[in-house]
């Protein structure tokens, strides 16, 4: 028996388009799931973006009013890909309307807002999802299983990083991502949230951190009306102040006893999209880098000279989800494929009437670590991760 889910998407920039496109691919990539998403309505404050998204993706309707997505009786699932400062009001409205909610990270503009958002969906008894898409790469799922099966032994070290150059051009426009009032933190929210989520998934919860920050590009050109993605550039005109950070580095201690280093930057020259981790245990080690997302480096010595060194493992149908996209070993998957897997996991959890693996509770756990890093910026000391969960 097929289950139809009415989908509404708020915010039709690049990420909103990716979400809509993922739902269009879901029946093809996961035909046995018998989940049939239907694109009901998309919304964007820029009419041209809303109209274009409807035409490109096949939404039944479009609007410049996001509240029409929430109130539409045919919508059962709301995806929020709008700027961070709008997330709290949108999630609250969707949850109060009884809609299941998927929100792009970091969910809240601050750790405290993330706590309010988590409380809203918990009180409304609806399901939630978060865009931590890197965790769905097939070889990353394989790495997690190796760790859970004890193949690396006790975890001793975790090093995570997300180094990108999207903002390295000082003429990149002052989009909302560079303004604390609209985005909250900068690289901490945008990039470190992914690194901490991956650390939680692979090595377990963090106990305490000490962190530093730096803004390398102090001002940027003001964006023209209806312009302002973090890839746009402008070589002339007035400039405005960047009010959040470009770089964050942290040392970390995990509850399992492991030690770690976490680093993110949005203006670094060299790496293009280096979302990566290295995990060491007493019996072996793992390395992965999104720039080579279909490859996993595994080191598991067994006392023989032949195995005294790392082995490169290519994605294959033996790894979770890979066969839905590729029939043979070593064929490449893409960023968009990870979003299709993400959409499948979220909707399958809804159909199964359960909260999925990565929801607002996990987003709050990440936000609690980010909050400890922010406190460390001020105290210049180690800060313990503390619960921000709001109890009624």
288-299 tens-digit pLDDT: 999 999 999 999
139-182 tens-digit pLDDT: 999 999 999 999 999 999 999 999 999 999 999 999 999 999 99
What does pLDDT average to over the chain? 96
Residues 6 or more apart in contact with residue 128 via CB below 8 angstroms: 100, 101, 102, 103, 118, 121, 355, 359, 360, 361, 363
| Per-residue pLDDT at 59 | 98
| Per-residue pLDDT at 304 | 84
Give the architecture (CATH level 2) of 3-133: 3-Layer(aba) Sandwich (3.40)
pLDDT at 228 over 60: no
> Distance between CA atoms of 139 and 287, rounded to whole angstroms?
10
Whether omega before 106 lies within 30 degrees of 0, making that bond cis, reads yes
| Per-residue pLDDT at 226 | 61
* Domain segments of the chain as ranges: 3-133, 138-332
What mean pLDDT do residues 332-361 have?
A: 97
Residue 106 φ/ψ, nearest 5 degrees? -85, 20
Token pair belonging to 331: 């064929």
Q: What is the pTM of this model?
A: 0.96
pLDDT at 227 over 80: no
What are 36's strand-pairing partners? Answer: 4
pLDDT at 136 over 60: yes
Determine contact, residues 4/77, Cβ cutoff 8 Å. no
| Per-residue pLDDT at 132 | 98
Could you tell me the CATH superfamily of domain 138-332?
Answer: Dihydrodipicolinate Reductase; domain 2 (3.30.360.10)
What mean pLDDT do residues 195-204 have?
A: 98
| Per-residue pLDDT at 225 | 67
| Per-residue pLDDT at 230 | 63
Share of the chain above pLDDT 70, in %: 98
pLDDT at 186 over 90: yes
Question: Where in 266-339 does DSSP place strands (E)?
Answer: 273-281, 284-289, 295-299, 311-314
Confidence of residue 235 (pLDDT cuts 50, 70, 90): confident
């Amino acid at each position: 028996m097929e289950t139809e889910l009415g989908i509404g998407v708020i915010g039709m920039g690049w990420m909103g388009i990716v979400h809509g496109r993922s739902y269009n691919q879901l029946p093809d990539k996961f035909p046995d799931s018998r989940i049939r998403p239907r694109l009901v309505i998309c919304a964007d404050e820029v009419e041209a973006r809303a109209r274009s998204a409807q035409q490109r993706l096949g939404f039944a309707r479009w609007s410049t009013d996001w509240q029409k997505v929430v109130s539409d009786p045919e919508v059962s699932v709301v995806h929020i890909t709008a700027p961070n400062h709008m997330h709290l009001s949108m999630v609250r409205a969707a949850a109060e309307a009884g809609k299941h909610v998927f929100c792009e990270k970091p969910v809240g503009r601050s750790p405290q807002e993330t706590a309010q958002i988590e409380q809203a969906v918990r009180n409304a008894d609806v399901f939630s999802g978060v865009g931590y898409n890197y965790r769905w790469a097939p070889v990353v799922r394989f790495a997690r299983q190796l760790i859970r099966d004890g193949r690396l032994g006790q975890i001793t070290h975790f090093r995570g990083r997300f180094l990108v150059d999207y903002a390295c051009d000082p003429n990149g426009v002052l989009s909302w991502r560079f303004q604390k009032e609209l985005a909250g933190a900068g690289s901490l929210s945008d990039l470190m949230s992914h690194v901490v989520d991956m650390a939680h998934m692979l090595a377990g919860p963090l106990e305490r951190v000490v962190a530093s920050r730096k803004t390398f590009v102090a001002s940027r050109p003001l964006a023209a009306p209806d312009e302002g993605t973090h890839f746009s550039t402008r070589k002339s005109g007035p400039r405005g102040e960047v009010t959040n950070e470009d770089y964050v580095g942290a040392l970390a201690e995990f509850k399992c006893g492991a030690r770690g280093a976490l680093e993110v930057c949005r203006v670094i020259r060299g790496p293009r999209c280096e979302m990566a981790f290295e995990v060491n245990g007493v019996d072996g080690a793992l390395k992965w880098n999104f720039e080579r997302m279909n490859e996993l480096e595994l080191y598991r010595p067994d006392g023989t000279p032949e195995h005294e060194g790392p082995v490169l493992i290519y994605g294959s149908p033996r790894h979770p989800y890979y066969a839905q996209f590729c029939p043979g070993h070593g064929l490449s998957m893409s960023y968009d494929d990870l979003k299709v897997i993400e959409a499948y996991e979220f909707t399958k959890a809804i159909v199964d009437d359960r909260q999925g693996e990565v929801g607002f509770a996990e987003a709050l756990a990440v936000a609690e670590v980010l909050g400890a890093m922010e406190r460390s910026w001020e105290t210049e000391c180690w800060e313990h991760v503390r619960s921000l969960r709001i109890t009624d």
